[in-house]
Chain A
């Protein structure tokens, strides 16, 4: 048994933390949050040069990592600094799907994904799908040798910046069937594709995506017709490792800020951290934080494992981290008082990142149900 990071991952963590501490200051991030694009192209390129995107892909795919623990190391640091750039959407999801399903020709795009010059988005969820991965109403129909997509995709993160959207559509079966779902590589400038973009509460941007008879070449399909569902669940699992690790990192920052504030803020002639009522609440947060760290390790360690174990640990981690995240974000704001309610204070953004992670790829209740389904059969 050994819970230490490998030397490579330790170096990755150190260099990423150093870069973000130096460059991703509160001021820089607040400027990014107020920008029209919702992310910094400059920071994105620099992080790509640092190898952060490459760390999310295996050597076969052109990277040097790609395992659950690589994802966890990267996203914990991104979470710690409250980074809003689209690593999850462009790399773990978009790039990951191309890597898993693409032909050699399609996979040539990965080089640009890894060097940061090409951004991707995964257009999967729909207005009525909530968190159900098999709920796909968008249709793909063959017409005169072309594929025609019609439907609507909801809250597609990073859609506006993406050069390609990876769109799921149904070629066969009923709305909730796992069989019959395919993925398509759709260039952003394809006629019939329209976006309504908007900012997200916790930073970054998303769009409602309308597919109005979008005509594609047959070679745009990723993988075998109708067989995309297992790969979608595998990438959703990777996304869950990323989100849980990001939340862990954000919780670390939230508790550090709170510890510092308790030690400096004076009321009634003494630091408020000298009141036992507050000390005990802080101690409870630190206990839960270690629980979350272990849950993330469990999930990351089973990402490459067989699907049952993978899904069980993903569901456990997401449920536990969601519960802990709510506790930590609410309690750290409360322990601060009014200052944490202000936009410009670091914790406000961190708390929003924590809470909004509970709205991607399943919330606490969704993962509780997943866990019940898996653990009782």
Chain B
């Protein structure tokens, strides 16, 4: 047992920290720190800065222009990015689609799409969930019917995150309705400028527009946009989901969130003393921090195993459940700390609003974030589905 990072890893951390101090624009970090939504331009600006450094694709193999970092390096990079309040790397192209194309895509698809992801020429979104297919994803109904050199796609996807910014969508579609659900699904790349594609906004309970419905009406998609083999899409989808689950614990987000709670609780007064000194509030913060310290090590145990080539199993499901519980608890602490100033609704909770905030610093978006982050335990495989996976493996003798 040795809990410390190696000298090489520490040097790597210093290099990342130096880069962020140099290149991350302060106004951008402030926007992230304030919890405001980011515009497409801001994401692309940050992607460009990372791409210039060659760090936009930490998980890609070098042959495709990635860093090929191991799990520990990726963790250090994500950790430092959170600490510095860097925007997140938009995952849809870089960490969801790209690994699928690299493993299952044709040479032409790799040569065409991967460079366009790195250059931000394309913004991808994910066409998985449907109104009737959430936790039960394999029951999806959007169908693609072969007609000569094209598929004709009809159906509806939902919860499409940042679909309003996207020009491409990767979709799971049903190509064979006659077989077992999982055996009739294909993985299709669709240009969103194709006639018949319509994006409709979904406004979330905090007033934000970050997800969408995407409707397909007789959308004609060239057959060369099929990834891998027809009806093998479920295999690719599962492969993609394992990549979606990297950094699933969100340790960095929780650490940044907890630091923000402490800052706020030092400035908020309760009975004439800083709130942080109040034993009831302090106990809540302490419990969250104790949980987070342990989870951080659980996370490192798994990362360390992964760096040695061990595939994570149910551990990633455990991290999803515990990680989201801790993040949501921290969001709850933040809204508590804000007191009465949690009540105002900052309608311009996105970048570019010049109006001065109503309450003290750090209170403006805490309640909206508390509600918005209820999504954490719902999306990416709900926490109930994660518990099913854990129970099946540990109790059922299954895979």
- Asked whether A201 is an interface residue with its Cβ less than 8 Å from the other chain, the reply is yes
Across the interface, B378 reaches (CB within 8 A) one of A199, A278, A337, A360, namely A337
Across the interface, B370 reaches (CB within 8 A) one of A176, A206, A269, A355, namely A355
- Asked whether A59 is an interface residue with its Cβ less than 8 Å from the other chain, the reply is no
Most buried by B among A154, A337, A338, A358: A338
Interface residues on B, range: 35 or more
Which residues does chain A contribute within 8 Å of B136, judged by CB atoms? 267-268
Given known A155-B340, A341-B378, A359-B342, contact A352–B271 (CB-CB < 8 A)? no
Q: Which of B175-213 contact A (CB under 8 A)?
A: 202-207
With CB as the reference atom, state the residue of chain B lying closest to A202: B343
Which residues does chain A contribute within 8 Å of B203, judged by CB atoms? 342-344
> How far apart sit A170 and B112, CA to CA, in the bound complex (Å)?
72
Across the interface, B270 reaches (CB within 8 A) one of A125, A130, A201, namely A130
- Asked whether B26 is an interface residue with its Cβ less than 8 Å from the other chain, the reply is no
**B384–A277 CB distance below 8 A:** yes
**B336–A363 CB distance below 8 A:** yes
Most buried by A among B134, B205, B358, B368: B205
A-B contact pairs, 28 of them (CB 8 A): A127-B359, A130-B271, A130-B340, A154-B341, A154-B359, A155-B340, A155-B343, A198-B345, A199-B344, A201-B206, A206-B344, A267-B139, A269-B139, A330-B328, A337-B378, A337-B382, A338-B159, A340-B374, A344-B203, A349-B205, A351-B205, A356-B367, A359-B338, A359-B340, A363-B339, A365-B281, A365-B336, A368-B280
- Asked whether B25 is an interface residue with its Cβ less than 8 Å from the other chain, the reply is no
- Asked whether B239 is an interface residue with its Cβ less than 8 Å from the other chain, the reply is no
- Asked whether B106 is an interface residue with its Cβ less than 8 Å from the other chain, the reply is no
Across the interface, B204 reaches (CB within 8 A) one of A202, A341, A359, namely A341
Known: A130-B340, A199-B345, A278-B384. 7 other contacts (CB 8 A): A176-B271, A201-B343, A337-B135, A349-B205, A351-B371, A355-B370, A359-B339
- Asked whether A190 is an interface residue with its Cβ less than 8 Å from the other chain, the reply is no
- Asked whether A311 is an interface residue with its Cβ less than 8 Å from the other chain, the reply is no
- Please report whether the interface of chain A is mostly helix, strand, loop or mixed according to DSSP: mixed
Q: Which of B23-71 contact A (CB under 8 A)?
A: none
- Asked whether B120 is an interface residue with its Cβ less than 8 Å from the other chain, the reply is no
**B202–A359 CB distance below 8 A:** no
Across the interface, A127 reaches (CB within 8 A) one of B338, B360, B383, namely B360
**A365–B278 CB distance below 8 A:** yes
Instruction: Please count how many residues in chain A sit with their CB below 8 Å of the partner chain's CB atoms.
Output: 49
10 closest Cβ pairs, A-B complex: A348-B205, A267-B136, A201-B345, A343-B203, A365-B280, A155-B340, A130-B339, A199-B345, A268-B136, A359-B342
> How far apart sit A312 and B328, CA to CA, in the bound complex (Å)?
31
> How far apart sit A199 and B134, CA to CA, in the bound complex (Å)?
33
Closest CB of chain A to B220's CB: distance in Å? 29
Which residues does chain A contribute within 8 Å of B345, judged by CB atoms? 198-201
> How far apart sit A202 and B207, CA to CA, in the bound complex (Å)?
11
With CB as the reference atom, state the residue of chain A lying closest to B355: A198
> How far apart sit A365 and B265, CA to CA, in the bound complex (Å)?
14
